Amino acid sequence: MNDVFYSKHFTLEQISKTIFAAIAKESGGAVANAGFVDLGDKVIIFDTFNTQQASEDLKLIAEKITNQTVTWVVNSHWHGDHIRGNQTFKDSVIISSQITHSKIRDMHPSRFSKQKNDIQGLKDYIQSLKDQLNQTNDIKIQYQINSLSELKDSLPTLELVLPNQTFNTEITLQGTKRCAKLFTLGGGHSFCDAMLYIPDEKVIFMGDLLFVNCHPTFFEESDPVKWSKILKKVERLEIDVAVPGHGPTGTKEDISKIINYISELTSIAEMSNQNEDIEIPEIFKEWSSPEFYQQNIKRLRALSNL
């Protein structure tokens, strides 16, 4: 697949004849994963990346492979790395849950204008990273520079495009050859997290409810107890491939790993004292984004009021 298509933002992974995952590259403008599904006469895009440069590549390849225009676009939740590419799909029906729509509408205008008004600040920060890179030659810093440079390039023409259709709990997207179920079981990672399930193919796009081989992010709005309950319900579905919000494509086993992660970290947070830096448990040592581990422990401590 990548012989015929190249994007600096993501790698394209063919999951079945009709389903493709777009897995974010560390150094591009995607930041999170996305994907698309061909239903026969209709095409769904799942999430739109962090920049319009990345989402334009996604639209281009989706329409080239399916030989159709994009019908529906799903926003899994309100976080920027999943919705900032919406403007690429103004001619499509953009769908989110009612809660996600409200959060995008309420939270992003001020964020967008603040970033647009401080492009110089971002340039200065990128320069400081370049200075660090000269000292350390750390590839991670190079990736960060590249990704932030994509963000900088996106800002002058970035516009907020809201979903134009909403649902509360579940909606079926029907095509001539197959259907997809878009549903939410509430909020776990964010205020409300939606997933796209294609039963015929046993494939599910999970947004940030699933991270594969990388530490998930717990935010103030995250509810680890509900998150775990949602994942346990999803585990009951017939799933061969689970596409996460971050990390490579996974399986049902990776859903179990996040349930276990939440359980392990909750125990650690309850048993450790406030200022203690806890070493990452062996089973999560190889996971990427280890910087989120201590942050997650702190968040769990705050939740349990310890």
Confidence band for 4, pLDDT divided at 50, 70 and 90? low
Q: Cα(164)–Cα(35) distance, rounded to whole angstroms?
A: 20
Q: Cα(29)–Cα(149) distance, rounded to whole angstroms?
A: 8
Confidence band for 306, pLDDT divided at 50, 70 and 90? very low
| pLDDT > 70 fraction of the chain, expressed in percent and rounded | 97
Lowest-confidence region among 132-146, 194-208, 291-305: 291-305
| Residue 1 pLDDT | 46
Read off the pTM.
0.96
Q: Cα(299)–Cα(228) distance, rounded to whole angstroms?
A: 16
| Residue 115 pLDDT | 97
| Residue 275 pLDDT | 66
Tokens coding 235: 């585990």
For 278, other C-beta atoms within 10 Å of its C-beta total 14
Q: Cα(209)–Cα(279) distance, rounded to whole angstroms?
A: 24
* Rounded mean pLDDT, 183-197: 98
Q: Are 301 and 269 in contact (CB under 8 A)?
A: yes
Confidence band for 271, pLDDT divided at 50, 70 and 90? confident
Confidence band for 11, pLDDT divided at 50, 70 and 90? very high
Q: What is the mean pLDDT of the chain?
A: 95
Parallel/antiparallel/unpaired status of strands 93-97 and 72-74: parallel
Instruction: Give 295 or 278, the one with higher predicted confidence.
Output: 295
Query: How many CA atoms does the CB half-sphere of 185 hold within 13 Å?
Result: 20
Q: Cα(100)–Cα(118) distance, rounded to whole angstroms?
A: 26
pLDDT for 3 beyond 60: no
Q: Cα(257)–Cα(27) distance, rounded to whole angstroms?
A: 26
pLDDT for 157 beyond 80: yes
| Direct distance between the N- and C-terminal alpha carbons of the chain, in angstroms, rounded to an integer | 50
Q: Please state the length of the chain.
A: 306
| Residue 304 pLDDT | 77
Q: Cα(60)–Cα(27) distance, rounded to whole angstroms?
A: 20
Q: Are 51 and 30 in contact (CB under 8 A)?
A: yes
Confidence band for 2, pLDDT divided at 50, 70 and 90? very low
